[in-house]
Amino acid sequence: MSHAHETVLVLDFGSQYTQLIARRVRELGVYCEILPFDVPAGEVSSRAPRGIILSGGPDSVYQAGAPQVEAALFRTGRPTLGICYGMQIMMQRLGGRVDRAPGREYGPATLAVSDPGSLLFRGLEPAQRVWASHGDRVVEPAPGFRVVAASEGAPCAAVEDRERRLYGVQFHPEVVHTDHGRAILRNFLFEACGCRGDWTISSFAGDAVEEIRRTVGEGLVVCALSGGVDSSVMALLLDRAIGSRLFCVFVDNGLLRKGEADQVLRDFRERYHLQVRFSDAADLFLDRLRGVEDPERKRRIIGETFVDVFEREAAALGGVEFLAQGTIYPDRIESSSVRGPSATIKTHHNVGGLPERMRLRLVEPLRDLFKDEVRGLGEELGLDPAFVRRHPFPGPGLAVRILGEVTRERVATLQEADAIFVGELREAGLYDRVAQAFVLLLPVRSVGVMGDGRTYDHVVAIRAVETLDFMTADWARLPADFLARVSSRIVNEVRGVNRVVYDVTSKPPGTIEWE
């Protein structure tokens, strides 16, 4: 997206924190994009960024095959901040020395700022807690650099060359465990790069509306409305840009939460006045899923069936030229990542292959936003705050929460149990405290006692997690009396369920969803 705003570029060396750097920069009001580490220096210059940040990474700079950068990158005159591996590569390219540290410095470390005139640490106290994660260290800074801070494991924990506007830190200012990380990044952005910090979600909304109008012209756009946050925010943004030339298609695959299809249709037609074409395809999806137990096959069948149904509905509208998709920034980074922990991507729920099959041009108005920014944009566009804060729901719906075969009966059982759990969470004021909460239907039966008889019925598991970024998550410590109430309601009110268990696995080693 062409932003009239100042931009800072983050070059990604494969750190698990790369996306976090970009988010922190944007939180400070500066637009930021992530590029692979090997982008040519010429391309970096042509984008005229206000500054450049080199991320950390899992490699050692002196290893064969370690990610490298052109030395020309340090001659662009753009203020550049190297973080961890980014600092080490800067030192190595400019004539410093990097060596294996005698001991790995991992976790909290105490930083001693030795130069009160330092730009990065301006206005900050001389001793501060930072988060370190490195097995190498800079033994000798490159010529022209001054050491401005040290820690026990890193004698050159921060360096500056004010003349060339080059800066490096041997710790992670972007993580919350670094006490003054935000202030250090602010000093770099505002003091070194001279940024104004005027990028906001409302300025984004204005830019996006203009860009959609430019791209689409007088054309018609179709989009799949799933009822999830991304697709809903996208639909409202497109509506603001092109109004009645937007057609939404809502496909009921029979795998939604209880009452969800009615609610989504009512909201978007009556409240937000969108044109929504409804397709009740529950029978088709459930027929195709009959007898299928393998989770990957389930996902594939659902994805293919969705494409078939959507294609049929879109063709019935006639004259459509554009397909809008709710792709967001992490999807793009993950699918284009060069290497490192962000290199794997799950079979994505955005509809792969549709634009080619339908000869439609693609519009992706949210492609530059992180999830929390999409939520902010939703509020900006008037989406109900309760809706904006809804927990994520998997693309294949309840199919991935029914372990084993998906049948109409099992879907109905799960919908009832899930509605009780989520309803109780809202009632108890716990819904917003957890990031995701749901019920799973297990492919096992257990013996129970109901009244005078013994039963042999289904087991459900309830899952609730707390997380900031969904990369790691911890199981939520919900109150025991709350769990007791949920369990007793499910067993008493949901036919065919006689046992409730609570999943106390964190991620890692577990995933949030089970399939």
Quick check: is 296 catalytic?
no
Contact in structure between 159 and 146 (CB atoms under 8 Å):
yes
E strand segments, 215-316: 221-224, 246-252, 276-280
367/3 Cα distance (integer angstroms): 13
Catalytic residue among 84, 195, 223, 248: 84
Catalytic residue among 33, 160, 174, 373: 174
Quick check: is 84 catalytic?
yes
Query: In this structure, are strands 158-161 and 166-169 parallel, antiparallel, or unpaired?
Result: antiparallel
248/256 Cα distance (integer angstroms): 18
Quick check: is 172 catalytic?
yes
Q: Is 483 helix (H, G, I), strand (E, B) or coil?
A: helix
CB atoms inside a 10 Å sphere around CB 423: 14
Residue 129: in which H helix or E strand, if any? Answer: strand 127-140
376/445 Cα distance (integer angstroms): 43
The secondary structure of 34-74 as a DSSP string is EEETT--HHHHHHT--SEEEE---SS-TTSTT-----GGGG
Contact in structure between 16 and 173 (CB atoms under 8 Å):
no
Catalytic residue among 5, 172, 180, 349: 172
CB atoms inside a 10 Å sphere around CB 76: 16
Residue 441: in which H helix or E strand, if any? Answer: strand 436-450
Catalytic residue ranges:
84, 172, 174
